[in-house]
Amino acid sequence: MKIKLFATLKERAQAGEIELAVDSDGLTVAALRQTVAQQYPALAPLVQQALVAVNREFAFNSERVKPNDEVALFPPVSGGLPDQAGQTRPAWPEIIEITPAPIDLNALQQALTTPDDGAVVIFTGTVRAYTQARAGKQMTSKLEYEAYTDMAIAKLRQVAREMRAQFPAIHGIALVQRVGEMVIGEPTVAVAVCAGHRGDGAFEAARYGIDRLKQIVPVWKRETRPDGSSWIEGDYIPAPEDRTAGPVI
C-alpha cells in the first residue's frame, strides 16, 4: 500500500510517499496508524495526531482501508477558526482553483460578476511581515504553501456547496488558493462572492467560505524566518460530518 505524505510528515520521512506492507484484505485506519509507526519509526511521534484521507476524503479509525485505495497522511490544515447540498452544478459562475500563479483580483471579479450582480465581496489573505505568536515578532521572509491538490479541489467544491446551502441568495463564488513560495504582501488566498444586493448574504458567505477553507481544505504553509523555518499547522480536527456529501468528483 502506498501512502502520500504532506508537510511535517513528508519532512520527517524525507519522502512524499511511503509503502506499507499490509495483508491483501486491508486494515482499519487505527491499524494503519500503528503499522506506519512500526514500519517507519521516524513518523511514530506524528502519526497518531495526523489526519488520514482515503480516496481524497477524511477517514476515521474504525473504517477499513483496502490495498488499492489512495491513502494520505497529513497534519491538520494551516490555520482555521472553529467557527449539504447536492452535486448539481450551479447556474451562477464558480471558480475553484489551486494555483501557483499570482492572484489577479481584478480579473477574478470580472470573471465572476454577471449583469445580475450589484454586490461583490472579496476577501484576500496576504503574507504578513511578522508572526504575532512568536516571541520577539521575528520577521517572516517568505511563506511556502503546499496542497494535496486533488483532495483540496474536492473540498473547495464542498465549501462552495455549503456556502450556497447556507446563503441561498448569493450568485457567483470564487475560492482560489495559491501554492508555492510567496513573499510579504502577496495574496495567498481569495474568496469572492457575488449577489444582487449587499444584504443578500455576500459578506456572511465570504466569511463562512474562508473559515471553512481553513478547516477542511488540505493546504499547509511553511514559514521562513531569520532563525529558520517551520510548518504552521492548525488545530481543527475534522469530524464525519465534514465529509463530502455524496461521491468525490
Q: What percent of the chain has pLDDT over 70?
A: 90
Pairing of strands 71-74, 2-5: parallel
- State mean pLDDT over 6-21: 93
User: What pLDDT sits at residue 107?
Assistant: 94
Does the pLDDT value for residue 83 go beyond 60? no
CATH of 2-74, one of 3.30.70.380, 3.40.109.10, 3.10.105.10, 3.10.20.30: 3.10.20.30
Q: What cell numbers appear for 2 in the block?
A: 502506498
Domain with CATH 3.10.20.30 in the chain: 2-74
User: What pLDDT sits at residue 84?
Assistant: 40
Query: Is the distance from CB of 247 to CB of 221 less than 8 angstroms?
Result: no
Read off the pLDDT band of 89 (50, 70, 90): very low
* Among the listed residues 160, 125, 148, the one whose alpha carbon sits nearest the alpha carbon of residue 76: 148
- State mean pLDDT over 112-122: 95
- Across the chain, mean pLDDT equals 88
Please determine, looking at this structure, whether the domain spanning 94-242 carries the CATH number 3.90.1170.40. yes
Tens digits of residue pLDDT in 125-182: 999 887 655 555 668 888 899 999 999 999 999 999 999 999 999 999 999 999 999 9
Residues 6+ apart with CB under 8 A from 103: 124, 176, 178, 187, 189, 190
Q: Whose grid coordinates read 511581515?
A: 129
Q: Measured between alpha carbons, how far is 72 from 83 in angstroms, rounded to an integer? A: 26
